[in-house]
Structure 1
């Protein structure tokens, strides 16, 4: 007889159990950073804009009254329309080290996707690649940086055993900040300035912040419109995320490039807030806030989420100028940063990878997206 049961989430109690699964899976894992429970829970509330263009089903595996696994099967109609095929997604997967539990969860998700008319499935994608996505497949010896995934080493093995195949790999690059940049980057910055490009920090207060975020949104849509497996966000979705990060931004590691008053590039850096979040244990109540404020003083590294320049300004060496300013901002007097991570970059993004590697970045973590025919 099976020692567990898999079924859809239908009640508030089961929803709480769904959110709690990672605390069961990662118990004792020193590299795991607990997510904020409220951030996970809000993904499944009716006001989430995902439900305007998608649908989902949550499943949990229960054993002796404890949730030991979970998965979400979803259909993002924007992705189906963009790719022109009936492709579903899975996400939010967590599971104890038992392949039978994993198999049952994936079977439940796959059966639901078939019932929705899907013929393929891809993941992990937590509803959108703008959220958490990818499985870590190499580099388990250190915690993830802010807004990056982490998982047990057995997850990729389980997927491959269950018939999933690699769709695409992505890399995280390590940047030690104690090594000087090649002079070519400062030269690129000066050439960009002589070409009429101006640089400044992101503005983080009031209406100026909102204006910069609208410009960032428009630039994202121009520069990343063709990103694989990605779909555009609405301005509302983008601003909601930006506002949640507003108080966390360090303007010195978020330079903006402009030409004739229009934003044409940026280097998006964030301090690694996973360092204090590790001590919060998923709850930003008053105790959690106090812990966050106390341990944020330990932040000594940061993550570069994106380097962006419109194609027509790459010839003016704007990307080199942004890298120069971003790294210079990180090593300014009084800054705590010892290293940076640039993540993630798809394996076939040759242009970006060459630029990153020329600036001293070294691959130190590998992530993978998987696919399967239904």
Structure 2
């Protein structure tokens, strides 16, 4: 076998094309778009490359056929809770069912990271935010949501036989939108309805992108920025996210709660984009983009749509006071009017039991499980799982 650094257009094409062959008999596989994979490794599009490093390889057999791929990266902006254990990342792993080949790929990532001072590697993860390309699918081999990988079931053995250990599980939860909510939700709805206009619940207006960015930025930084592994968001970053969402967002899926016009909670969702992208060429050239617009138009007219819950949050001052329950009643009613019948939510780590409890309270159940593994380079060092958020 030969390990080749991906540093030419031909090798990039081999890196991108391997999954199509590996998953040709998996009807639930949906390919990520090639430009979105490439953006991870493009310094002009991934700002982490200004201070971090990334490398990727393909592995070929004696006949010159690509049998595997992997990437390794160092995010120098990532929080390192233990200064004695600097952690790098590996991801974008794909491989035939061959432990020797998998070991070659894992070893390439380990050697490269160790040479740069890392003491462990997490994987498979993304060189970027946790909202995409993060974790190994181990349960629930249904169609993947946009931004997440589908994996071969045998990958779990390849990781664990090499020596990776479970760092945390990632749960994707599902519910049918028309499933009734617990009566406590209606009581919360009534309580806050009686306090109008001090408390208001409404969806975003996509024509006012600046307000959407401000409101999202405000709640996000109060509700999420103190969590481990999550950095505060700048207002410019929030504006950029709104700009990126504009072509695909449905304003009826972007819900906010306000107290005296101050945003105090949000539930941000999008149409599940893979239900459209699965009909479009992964190379996403001009014809594919036009095809996507056609598929989007068709999808908008359906009455059995699926939505994807991107992020949910309540500012600390209002947590546990029923705001999230009242917000969900408002949102659910609008989802149903808009023709959405199913919802899958962005993954929640097993290190976040409070958020898992919230999803259970709305009647959602675990539908898929991904795993983030960690491999300690010092094999004698005691292994510790990701700490629980208290």
Same-fold call, TM > 0.5?
Answer: yes
Match of 1:359 among 350, 362, 368: 362
Which residue does the alignment assign to 2:33?
A: 36
Judge conservation of contact 2:79–2:229 (CA < 8 Å) in 1.
no
Alignment partner of 1:16 is 2:13 = yes
Tell me whether 131-140 or 310-319 shows the greater mean CA deviation. Answer: 310-319
Residue ranges of structure 1 left out of the alignment (5+ in a row): none
Secondary structure in structure 1 of the residue aligned to 2:279: helix
1:58 corresponds to? 56
| Counterpart residue number, 1:139 | 140
Q: Distance in 1 between matches of 2:32 and 2:125?
A: 16
Shift of 1:220: 1.9
Q: Provide the residue aligned with 2:124 in structure 1.
A: 124
| CA distance in structure 1 between the partners assigned to 2:189 and 2:51 by the alignment | 42
CA deviation after TM superposition for structure 1 residue 152, in Å: 1.0
SS of 1:267 mapped into structure 2: strand
| 2:111 match: secondary structure | helix
Instruction: Tell whether the 8 Å contact from 1:276 to 1:293 is kept in structure 2 after alignment.
Output: no
Unmatched segments (≥5 aa) in structure 2: 378-390
Residues 310-368 of structure 1: per-residue CA shift (max 9 Å, x gap): 01112432111222222212111xx3322111231122322222222121111121111
Within-5 A mapping of 1:155-174: 155-174=155-174
**How do residues 189-204 of structure 1 correspond to structure 2 at under 5 angstroms?**
189-194=189-194, 196-204=198-206
The SS at the match of 1:78 is coil
Trace 1:297-312 onto structure 2 (pairs within 5 A). Answer: 297-298=298-299, 300-312=305-317
Indicate how the Cα distance of structure 1 residues 288 and 87 shifts in structure 2: closer, same or farther if over 3 A, else same. Answer: same
Q: Provide the secondary structure at the position in 1 that maps to 2:77.
A: helix
User: CA 1:69–1:268 in structure 2 vs 1: closer, same or farther (change >3 Å)?
Assistant: same
CA contact (8 A) 1:219 1:265 kept: yes
SS of match in other structure, 2:60: strand
Q: Counterparts in 2 of 1:1-374, with a 5 A limit? A: 4-47=1-44, 48-63=46-61, 64-84=63-83, 85-128=85-128, 129-140=130-141, 142-194=142-194, 196-205=198-207, 208-232=208-232, 235-296=235-296, 297-298=298-299, 300-332=305-337, 335-374=338-377
Superposition CA RMSD, Å:
2.1
Q: Residues 10 and 121 (structure 1 numbering): CA distance in 2 closer, same or farther, change over 3 Å?
A: same
Residue 178 of structure 1: how far off its partner (Å): 3.1
Q: In the superposition, relative to structure 1, how do residues 134 and 346 fare at CA in structure 2: closer, same or farther (>3 Å)?
A: same
C-alpha distance in structure 1 between counterparts of 2:102 and 2:258, whole Å: 49
Separation in structure 2 between the aligned mates of residue 59 and residue 233 of structure 1, nearest angstrom: 32
For these two proteins, the number of residue pairs brought into alignment is 366
TM-score where L is the length of structure 1: 0.91
2: distance between equivalents of 1:130 and 1:71?
Answer: 19
Deviation at 1:83, TM superposition (A): 4.7
1:193 CA drift (Å): 4.4
1:208-265 CA-partner distances (Å, limit 9, x unpaired) = 2133224313432322224344444555555434322212111212111222332221
Q: Do the aligned partners of residues 211 and 82 (structure 1) sit closer, same or farther apart at CA in structure 2, a change above 3 Å counting?
A: farther
Contact 1:192/1:316, CA 8 A, preserved across alignment: no
Partner Cα separation in structure 1 for residue 238 and residue 74 of structure 2: 20
The 3 A distance-change label for structure 1 pair 217 and 82 is farther
Please report the TM-score for the alignment, with normalisation by the length of structure 2. 0.87
* Contact map agreement 1:307 1:322 (CA 8 A) in 2: no
Counting helix residues as a fraction of each chain, which structure ranks higher? Answer: 1
Write the distance in 1 (CA, Å) between the matches of 2:82 and 2:269.
30
